[in-house]
Chains A and B, each alone.
Chain A
Amino acid sequence: MSPLFGRLRGAPPPDPAQAQAQAQRDQDSLERLAQGHVPLNAAERLATLAAADASTLAFASDLSVQEFSLLHRLGIVPVTLVMGSSIYQVGWQGTYYMEPTEIHSLSHAYNESRRLALNRLLEETTLVGADAVVGVRIEQGRHDFASGSVEFVAIGTAVRLPPALRGSDGPVLTDLEGQEFWQLCTAGIRPVGIAAHTSVHYVPASWQTARAMGGGMFGGSWNNQELGDFTQGVYDAREKAMTYVTQQAHALGADGVIGVKLDEHASGRRVSRGGIECDDLIVTFHVIGTAIRDDPSLADAAAAAVPRTVLSLA
């Protein structure tokens, strides 16, 4: 147990034996991380929580009061905050490419970082003996001390589900809020997991595009025209990400994916190709959603009432 600063006592005096033990623990944690697991401190805290009697322990949750009260009604019990995180270094990438192509080092870094973070979130949930995670926030971190790296952080509340809601294949991750989780359950739909993918594509400007954009000796074009190659590039990136997401959802045995968040970033890169200055396109697509499956046994007819329309006077 760490000291409670200011409340109980001051900081403990440094002790060489303790420092040595700490160094050993840090080393063990690094090895665990290399294998994709959560560090020692986290694993131990969760194990104590799992072993202890639920009634004697305080739960921690990032649920709002509204979410808490809805879940409480369904008999869903919060256990603790769980989290998964991974900082990933992006490897070498080409300065520019001559052919439309996926920038694999970037896509891979995003996907691996997110996969590791979500796996750790799942591992923490399993360790604490919970059945699902709700209210998950998945954010991309950015740190001054690790430029050129990507980070995903997933924080949510691990919950124990009543037997009726519990799935058969272990804990379930969702990126749903408590309200959404509640609505799905009462409507007879079971969330089965998170499906996500990122693809980063590089599209070099074709001769025609470069001319239309007004570079170099040819001057700009006055015509309205579609930049076919760029449109194609955006399509390629999006289709690739969506295809992977669909595949993951299939693998989870889902009927569909809801609450899909599509996040597109496009940036230009100025290059000189054959004496023509032009802007190539780098397009990044992040796709994430919760895979769901129909399960009529969950449905609660009373709760799935027709919404009443209200007019807010605020």
Chain B
Amino acid sequence: METAEEIRDRILARFPGAAVAVVANPGPGAQHSLLLGAAQAAEIARFLRDDPGLRLDFCSNVTGVDWLDREVAEAARPAAPDPAGAPAKGAEAKATRLQPGFLEVVYHLYSVALKHGPVVLRLRTGNRKDEVTLPSLTPIWRSCEFQEREVFDLFGVTFAGHPDLRRILMWDEFKDHPMRKDYVEPDDYEWEPTPHGDLLPKARRHYPAAAKEAPAP
């Protein structure tokens, strides 16, 4: 199968000026991914599906990632900005800037016809609050339907063009997005027999007041 760089070059040849970048995976799996701009993502996805050399006809997995705001060390020398947004390495930190957080949706594509894959696509929202709309890829891969609903439910990404965008795991009246990193879960640890670790502060909130005055045996 073609490498991610080759696929990126083919996409750029087909859609000149499209926002496509390769996000390198430094792990031993080296599963590099393609970061697509939201504007042309649907067209590029259709190209990936229909191109005779790729024929990525099956989307096996859709998932979400929540990236919080973070402090990024500003590189001293004006290095070429990493298109993937990864922090520049080996540069002396002069100043820090706040990189706003965003939500990311990851698609894993395979070709059943040509028996290759995966090709990993990433789509990123503008921020975590109001610019959370991304194009739905359900019209291109039908298997995305429930998984995009799940990302909508648990991360709060709105998919434009999704045929049936409703919550899938939580109930319709639910307002939160539980997989976001700043989710505050309901306080229902009234009783915990042996609290420890992360549970200890939660359980402590429900300790009876009298117990604090109980004399130590």
| A and B physically associate | no
Instruction: List chain A positions with a Cβ less than 8 A from chain B.
Output: none
